[in-house]
Amino acid sequence: MTAAGTFGYGTEYSHLFDIQKLGAIVCKGTTLEPRDGNPQPRLVETASGLLNSIGLQNIGVKALIKEKAPIWANWRVPVMVNIAGETVDDYAQLAKELDGVAGISGIEVNISCPNIKAGGAEFGVNPESAARVTAAVKSATSLPILVKLTPNTGDIVGVAAAVAEAGADAISLINTVKGMAIDIATRQPLLGNRTGGLSGPAIKPIALSMVYEVAGAVEVPIVGCGGITTGNDAIEFIMAGASAVQVGTASFANPRAPLDVLEGIEQFMQKEGIKDIAELIGAARR
Ligand SMILES: Cc1cc2nc3c(=O)[nH]c(=O)nc-3n(C[C@H](O)[C@H](O)[C@H](O)COP(=O)(O)O)c2cc1C
C-alpha cells in the first residue's frame, strides 16, 4: 500500500508507473472542510529521515467524493481514504459521508490528530480516546476500517488493544515520530510549525519494534509502516507480524518505490521458495 500523505490521491502517479499493480492506495488525510495546512517551510531533510509539518492540507471530503472517487471507481487497485478530525463527531461524520461511495474501499483512521475537546493531546496517545474514535467510525460506516496508530504514546500496546476491542478491522502503524530541527544561523526552528513528524529510514527500527510488540497483543491484521524503502525492509515488517505494508517517504526520492517494494517481496519469496506470504508473517516471533 502507499502511505497516507505521500502519494496524493494516486492520480498524480498514474503516469509514472502502473499503480494498478499495487495492493492498495491510501490517499491524503481528509478532513470535513478543505485545509491550507501549516505555514512554510514544511519539509526538512534530516540524517536518514524527513521532517514534515504539512498540517493536513487537503481538498476536504466533499470535493474528494465529487472529484476523486469517480476516478477511483474505474481502478482495479482499491483506494482507502485516510481521515482526520478534531472531535469524535468529526470522525463519525467523515465515515458517514464516505459510506457507500463508489470507488472507496475502506477508511484509514488517523488518530494522531489533536483532540480539541480534550485540550489538544493526540487522540492516539491514550487507549480510551483512541477507542472512542474507533467505535464512532465503526458504527458510522459499513466500510472496513484500518486504525493508524501514533508512536508518540507511552502505551502503543494498550492503544492497539483498545482499538481492536472497539472494532478496528486492522491496525496500521506507525505514523511519524515527533521531532524538530533548528537553524543555528537564525537560531530558529527550521519548520514553520516549529515541530513536525519524522519519517523515513531513521524511524524504521522504532516502527519495527512497535509492530513486533503490537502483533503479540492483538488478533487483527497489522499493516506495517515506517521507513520501508526496499522489499527486504518490507519482509522485516512481515516477519515482525505485519500482514501488509505501506511505503511513504521512499516515494519522494523514487516515485516507483511502492512497486519496487512489491517486486522486492516477490523476489525474496522466489529466492526462498516461498509460495504464500502467510508463511512469513510473524516468522521472527516464533
Ligand atoms: C509529507 C507527509 C505527509 C503525511 N501525511 C499524512 C496524513 O495525511 N495522514 C496520515 O495518517 N499520515 C500521514 N503521513 C505519515 C505517513 O503516512 C507514514 O505513516 C509515515 O511517514 C511513516 O512512513 P514512511 O517512513 O514510509 O514515510 C505523512 C507523512 C509525510 C512524510
pLDDT in tens, 105-156: 999 999 998 888 887 789 999 999 999 999 999 999 999 999 999 999 999 9
Which own/partner contact pairs does 118-124 have at CB distance under 8 Å and 24+ positions apart? 122/150, 122/152, 122/153, 124/149, 124/150, 124/152, 124/153, 124/159, 124/175
Note whether 244 and 215 are within 8 A (CB).
no
What integer pLDDT is reported at residue 115 of this predicted model? 84
Q: pTM of the predicted model, to two decimals?
A: 0.98
Q: How far is the CA of 10 from the centre of ligand 1 (A)?
A: 14
Closest CA to 114 of 140, 143, 85: 85
Q: What is the mean pLDDT of each run of 10 residues along the chain (286 residues)?
A: 98 97 98 96 97 96 98 98 97 98 98 85 94 98 98 97 98 97 98 96 98 98 98 98 98 98 98 97 96
C-alpha cell at 147: 486504525
What integer pLDDT is reported at residue 40 of this predicted model? 97
Residues with CB under 6 A from ligand 1: 3-6, 28-29, 50, 52, 54, 56, 82, 110, 148, 175-176, 199-200, 203, 225-228, 247-250
Distance CA 89, CA 94 (A): 8
Residue to mutate, 52, 176, 177, 230, ligand 1, most ligand atoms under 8 Å from C-beta: 176
Distance CA 219, CA 222 (A): 9
**Which atom of ligand 1 is the closest one to the Cα of 249?**
27
What integer pLDDT is reported at residue 71 of this predicted model? 98
- In tens, the pLDDT along 213-233 reads 999 999 999 999 999 999 999
- The number of CA neighbours under 13 Å toward the Cβ of 2 is 33
Four-point Cα dihedral 68, 72, 77, 78, nearest 10: 80
Distance CA 89, CA 86 (A): 8
Distance CA 145, CA 107 (A): 5
Residue to mutate, 150, 175, 210, ligand 1, most ligand atoms under 8 Å from C-beta: 175
**Which atom of ligand 1 is the closest one to the Cα of 246?**
26
Distance CA 59, CA 68 (A): 10
What integer pLDDT is reported at residue 239 of this predicted model? 98
